[in-house]
Amino acid sequence: MSGTDVPLQPKKKGLTRRQKRSLSRGVQYVVFVAAVIAFAVAADWDRLKNQFAQGSIAREMFPDVITLALKNTVLYTVSGFVVGLVLGMVIALMRLSSVGPYRWLAGIYIEIFRGLPALLIFIFIGVAVPLAFPGTEIPGGTYGKVALALGLVAAAYMAETIRAGIQAVPKGQMEAARSLGFSPARAMISIIVPQAFRIILPPLTNELVLLFKDSSLVLFLGVTLEERELSKFGRDLASQTANSTPILVAGLCYLLITIPLGFVVRRMEAKAQEAVK
Amino acid sequence: MSTTAEIQVRDLHKSFGDNEVLRGIDLEIRQGEVVCVIGPSGSGKSTLLRCVNLLEEPTKGQVFVGGAELTDPDVDIDAVRRRIGMVFQQFNLFPHLTVTENLTLPQRRVLRRGKEAAAKVAAENLARVGLSEKAGAYPASLSGGQQQRVAIARALAMGPQVMLFDEPTSALDPELVGDVLAVMRMLANEGMTMMVVTHEMTFAREVADRVVFMDGGVIVEDGTPDQVIGNPRHERTRHFLSRLLDPAMADVEEGVQDQVGKSD
């Protein structure tokens, strides 16, 4: 009975829904283009160019911005990611364990490190650890400290991502593996985790991109000239030259990594989809 | 046929919370015997099968396979499961591996077979189920019937003494059922010990040595196919079979009507 009083044919007067939709979209385009033009006209391009795009200053940044700053950024990020991935994997498996204390420990870890700003973790690693264990050095100097600090933060996020990925693998996969004689650990490693990683590839990349940006926090550990990464490098040069061009160049360098990364991941995702579909 | 009991189930009980699914099952399957377990949905037949390789933990009772007690808390369950092949309703192939890798990975990781040996066994078993040409394909590109045959080959590649089938054709389109049943028939003729939970009455009638009818968590009737399907003694068995045979009433379980229609 319901719905019979709704006329199926459009009424003659007024616009149909389809016409309304295209009209609404047309208005959106016009507003968007008008806004862009308004900003472009209103902005003082000469002053912006002076402050942010001084060719000579930008040229002087090379090759150090790549060979030193970008290299360090990548190094900090990748080492933090690796530490985070390994630790996150362990915590995820603890979280899924049938042993109560493992689950609780993992839960507490995740709540603490996900809840604290990365900045505080860096300060903690830089100040509290040397105080608590006088005389001990975190191996690898600044690099080790960064890997540890970034890793500790990343592990909390990645553990939750990995756990979700493992739980997204159908239950029948574990049953099939167990019935073939796999032990629980072996089934997890050989069958479940590889499938989980295909599922969580996009969120893991997201984590990598976030780490790229968090690697700028290294300046709170106090770094030597040789250990500077993109943000610190850009800021130092910006204050030396009293010009913001180095900031812009440093920013472009971040994009130089993150944009191709996104592209690669979309390719990998498509490939994984193809295999699973 | 040998008289050794390959599978032995004693006073098996299984509850899920307050729901008692199995209420005291005693069952023996001899070496080389093919036993079909039939019964209405919810009768506990799949749970019984899953208890035989301990995918479900029995609440009470004992299960022996090949002389080893699975219900012993100290048993090496992985070792016992290597003797038992299992085929699932939903195939459960590993989707991230090719057909060949589905067969070789378990051999290599569990049986520690070398690369060459595993590949050879895989090829032999793919040939047995008639799917040699799909060796390099991913499971997702196969039809349901082909996937189920690969799943059977994967179980066989481990060299099991017993094969368990959990409604192996229930998830298939009717026209694909025949290929899978043909492979199972071949196995039966080769003397494999098989326990099959199924709705395929034709298969049960022609291939099974024994048919077990379950209802309400107990075994109601246990005998030759002619006895249980042809001339059931119990009212509950008769009621179940008549529901399968009467298309007007058999609207609950898909595919069953079709099969029974063919058998008569």
Q: What phi and psi values does residue B96 have, to the nearest 5 degrees?
A: -90, 0
Is pLDDT above 70 for B250? no
Mind giving me the DSSP string for chain A?
-TTTTS-SSPPSSS--HHHHHHHHHHHHHHHHHHHHHHHHHHS-HHHHHHHH--HHHHHHHTTHIIIIIIHHHHHHHHHHHHHHHHHHHHHHHHHT-SSHHHHHHHHHHHHHHHHS-HHHHHHIIIIIHHHHSTT---TTHHHHHHHHHHHHHHHHHHHHHHHHHHHHS-HHHHHHHHHTT--HHHHIIIIIHHHHHHHHHHHHHHHHHHHHHHGGGGGGG---GGG--HHHHHHHHHHHHT-SHHHHHHHHHHHHHHHHHHHHHHHHHHHHHHHH-
Per-residue DSSP letter, B229:
I
Specify if A235 maps to a domain: yes
- Exposed (0-12), middle (13-18) or buried (19+): which is B129, by Cβ within 10 Å? buried
Average pLDDT for A213-226 = 81
pLDDT band at residue A210 under the 50/70/90 scheme: confident
Instruction: Count structural domains, chain A.
Output: 1
What are the pLDDT digits (tens) for A176-209? 999 999 999 999 999 999 999 988 988 888 888 8
User: How many whole angstroms from its chain centre is CA A194?
Assistant: 21
CA angle A274, A275, A276 (to 5 degrees): 95
Q: What phi and psi values does residue B34 have, to the nearest 5 degrees?
A: -115, 115
Is pLDDT above 90 for B84? yes
Instruction: Identify whether the C-beta of residue B103 lies closer than 8 Å to the C-beta of residue B122.
Output: yes
Instruction: Identify whether the C-beta of residue A76 lies closer than 8 Å to the C-beta of residue A140.
Output: no
Is pLDDT above 80 for A158? yes
* Alpha-carbon dihedral A241, A247, A249, A250, rounded to 10 degrees: 120
Specify if A169 maps to a domain: yes
Which is more confident, A226 or B85? B85
Per-residue DSSP letter, B234:
S
Is pLDDT above 70 for A103? yes
Residue A97 amino acid letter = S
Mind giving me the DSSP string for B60-84?
EEEEEETTEETTSTTS-HHHHHTTE
Say how far apart CA B37 and CA B168 lie, in whole Å. Answer: 12
Instruction: Identify whether the C-beta of residue A229 lies closer than 8 Å to the C-beta of residue A215.
Output: yes
Average pLDDT for B120-126 = 96
Q: Which of A167-171, B4-8, B156-160 has the lowest mean pLDDT?
A: B4-8
Contacts of A183 in chain B (CB under 8 A): 78
pLDDT band at residue B257 under the 50/70/90 scheme: very low
pLDDT band at residue B227 under the 50/70/90 scheme: very high
Kindly report the length of chain B: 264
pLDDT band at residue B262 under the 50/70/90 scheme: very low
Q: What phi and psi values does residue B79 have, to the nearest 5 degrees?
A: -65, -45
Is pLDDT above 80 for A95? yes
- B95·A275 Cβ contact <8 A: yes
Is pLDDT above 70 for B261? no
Nearest to B82 by CA among B194, B167, B157: B157
Q: Which of A200-204, A265-269, B32-36, B196-200 has the lowest mean pLDDT?
A: A265-269
Per-residue DSSP letter, B20:
E
- A173·B92 Cβ contact <8 A: yes
Specify if A124 maps to a domain: yes
pLDDT band at residue A69 under the 50/70/90 scheme: confident
CA angle B153, B110, B135 (to 5 degrees): 35
pLDDT band at residue B3 under the 50/70/90 scheme: low
Contacts of A170 in chain B (CB under 8 A): 92
Q: What does the buried/exposed string (b/e) look like for B160-192 if buried means 16 or more CB atoms within 10 Å of the residue's CB?
A: bebbbbbbbbbbbeeebbebbbebbeebbeeeb
CB-nearest partner of A179 from B86, B95, B138? B86
Q: Which of A68-72, A130-134, A167-171, B31-35 has the lowest mean pLDDT?
A: A130-134
- B78·A276 Cβ contact <8 A: no
- R_g over Cα of chain A: 26
- A176·B138 Cβ contact <8 A: no
Specify if A10 maps to a domain: no
- A194·B96 Cβ contact <8 A: yes
Q: What does the buried/exposed string (b/e) look like for A237-266 if buried means 16 or more CB atoms within 10 Å of the residue's CB?
A: bbeeeebbbbbbbbeebbeebeeeeeeebe
Say how far apart CA A224 and CA A146 lie, in whole Å. Answer: 13
> How many angstroms away from the CA of B135 is the closest CA of chain A?
15
What are the pLDDT digits (tens) for A5-37? 666 665 667 888 899 999 999 999 999 999 999
Is omega for the bond preceding A10 within 30 degrees of 0, making it cis? no
Average pLDDT for B256-264 = 43
Contacts of A186 in chain B (CB under 8 A): 109-110
Average pLDDT for A116-139 = 81
pLDDT band at residue B41 under the 50/70/90 scheme: confident
CA angle A28, A33, A39 (to 5 degrees): 125
Average pLDDT for A151-164 = 93
Q: Which of A11-20, A105-114, B179-188 has the lowest mean pLDDT?
A: A11-20
**Which CATH number do you get for residue A201?**
1.10.3720.10
- What DSSP element (H or E) covers B34? strand B34-38
Kindly report the length of chain A: 277
pLDDT in the model for residue B260: 44
Specify if A45 maps to a domain: no
Per-residue DSSP letter, B176:
G
Contacts of B49 in chain A (CB under 8 A): none
What are the pLDDT digits (tens) for A48-65? 888 777 777 777 777 877
Structure tokens at A222: 């106090």
Specify if A29 maps to a domain: no
- Residue A254 sits in which domain range? 57-276
Is pLDDT above 60 for B224? yes
Average pLDDT for A134-152 = 82
Q: Which of A4-18, A220-234, B233-247 has the lowest mean pLDDT?
A: A4-18
pLDDT in the model for residue B258: 46
For B139, which residue in chain A has the nearest alpha carbon? Answer: A276
Specify if A15 maps to a domain: no
What are the pLDDT digits (tens) for B197-209? 998 998 999 999 9
For the four alpha carbons of A45, A51, A52 and A57, in that order, the dihedral sign comes to positive
Q: What phi and psi values does residue B22 have, to the nearest 5 degrees?
A: -120, 130
pLDDT band at residue A66 under the 50/70/90 scheme: confident
For testing contact with chain A, the best of B93, B102, B109, B163 (most A CBs within 10 A):
B109
A contact set with B (CB within 8 A): 170, 172-173, 175-183, 186, 190-191, 194-195, 198, 275-277
Say how far apart CA A191 and CA A174 lie, in whole Å. Answer: 8
Per-residue DSSP letter, B57:
-
Place of tokens 């045979």: B245
Specify if A14 maps to a domain: no
Is pLDDT above 60 for A276? no
B162 touches chain A (CB under 8 A): no
**β-pair type (B162-166, B193-197):** parallel
Average pLDDT for A242-252 = 85
Contacts of A175 in chain B (CB under 8 A): 55, 88, 92
Average pLDDT for B130-152 = 94
